[in-house]
Amino acid sequence: MERKIVILDGYAANPGDLSWDSLQKFGTLEVYDRTSPEQILERAKGAFAIFTNKVVITAQIIESLPELKFIGILATGYNNVDIAAAKAHGIPVCNVPNYSSQSVVQTVFGHLLNITTQIERHAQSVAAGDWVKSPDFSYSLSPMRQIAGLTIGIYGLGNIGKEVAKIAHAFGMKVIALTSKEQTQLPEYITKVEKTEFFSQSDVLSLNAPLCADNHNFICRETLDLMKPTAIIINTARGGLVDEEALADALNNRKIAAAAVDVLSCEPPKEDNPLLSAQNCYITPHIAWTSDVARKSLLRISAENLEAFIAGHPINMVNK
């Protein structure tokens, strides 16, 4: 009997520009763009393997799928799967680590350069005819900030955080980090600091840490009060790292200069999310991971995860 393989929410990873052939070869593949909670059991019934990006796989769902042997995560984060329940049923849960680091780093600096240089705003002004009408060869709608010489604080020195540090150093920025690593474990251009220094010294603060119980609302009123009024916060990690109401108030009251977020606490956001209307808040719809190269790597590694499991030596297991 041919294996049934089900992708529950494939649209974000592959809206149609890539091929699922790398998974197709392992059995009969069923791909759904999106799956509601009510549709999970119907679609996953009889499946040998399921893949999920953000669809929540609970213990009850796992118990209701006796033929299920493998759960693949089309992402790095796996908080949407009850990994303990999967382990109890002998089902490996395999994620895709470090597939989008360069893509995320690119988004960090895309946001930073947009905020400090306001390229889009000036390009739109030129397109509207303002330069043609200008009496001067050059005009500026807002001050341009030079990032060389600024201090960037990095929270989370994993693969992404280390790459952010490397690029920031190349730009001529001073790099500090709030990290559990020892100074001797860090490159010479990264200086370890304590929490108060981290917030008070950072001109730019980049969040690159996974979300856990200990760092929920890491950015809050208390830490925002420590920051410079010219400071910029960039979050490409997890929305739960930020108290969104506190950040919105800080922006609206000009306690900090700007924020750029690619992630929110609820996605898609609710209409009353305070950051949607906050001053100088630049929001992108969780796109940092979606470069073509990153998504191709995601699908390739997902197929390798399934192949390794079928061969008897699973890789990238998060519930060993």
In tens, the pLDDT along 203-239 reads 999 999 988 889 999 999 999 999 999 999 999 999 9
Give the residue ranges of DSSP H helices in 171-317: 195-201, 221-224, 244-252, 292-310
Nearest to 74, CA basis, from 228, 296, 309, 261: 296
Q: Please indicate whether residue 216 is annotated as part of the active site.
A: no
- pLDDT of 60 reads 97
Contact 217, 242 (CB under 8 A): yes
- Rounded Cα gap, residues 22 and 13, in angstroms: 14
- Cα 224 to Cα 68: distance, rounded to the nearest angstrom: 46
Find the helix packing angle between 101-117 and 159-170, rounded to 10°.
40
**Which DSSP category does 108 fall into?**
H
Burial profile 180-198: b = 16 or more Cβ within 10 angstroms, e = fewer? eeeeeebeeebebbeeeeb
Rounded to an integer, what distance in angstroms lies between the CA atom of residue 319 and that of residue 71? 11
pLDDT for position 79: 87
Q: 67, 120, 222, 267: which one is catalytic?
A: 267
Task: Name every residue whose Cβ is closer than 8 Å to that of residue 235 and which is 6 or more positions away in sequence.
Answer: 207, 219, 241, 242, 259, 260, 261, 262, 263
Q: Where are the beta strands (DSSP E) in the chain?
A: 4-7, 28-31, 49-52, 70-73, 93-94, 151-155, 174-178, 190-192, 204-207, 232-235, 258-261, 281-283
Q: Is the peptide bond before 268 cis (omega within 30 degrees of 0)?
A: yes
What angle do helix axes 101-117 and 119-127 make, rounded to 10 degrees? 60
What pLDDT, on a 0 to 100 scale, did the predictor assign at position 181?
93
> Per the residue annotation, which of 286, 300, 304, 307 is the catalytic one?
286
Q: Mean pLDDT, the chain, as a whole number?
A: 96
User: Is residue 221 among the annotated active site residues?
Assistant: no
Letter for the amino acid at 123?
A
What does the CA dihedral 11, 8, 56, 86 come to, rounded to 10 degrees?
Answer: -140
**pLDDT beneath 70: ranges in the chain:** 1
Predicted local distance difference test score (pLDDT) of residue 70: 98
pLDDT of residue 39: 98
Which among 145, 238, 244, 295 is annotated as catalytic? 238
* Residue 101: φ, ψ to 5°: -55, -50
Tokens for 117? Answer: 């240089």
The predicted pLDDT at position 1 comes to 67
The pLDDT of residue 17? 95
Q: What is the per-residue pLDDT for 210?
A: 87
Whether 84 contacts 319, CB under 8 Å: yes
Q: Verify whether residue 238 is a known catalytic residue.
A: yes
161 touches 177 (CB < 8 A): yes
Rg (CA), the chain: 22
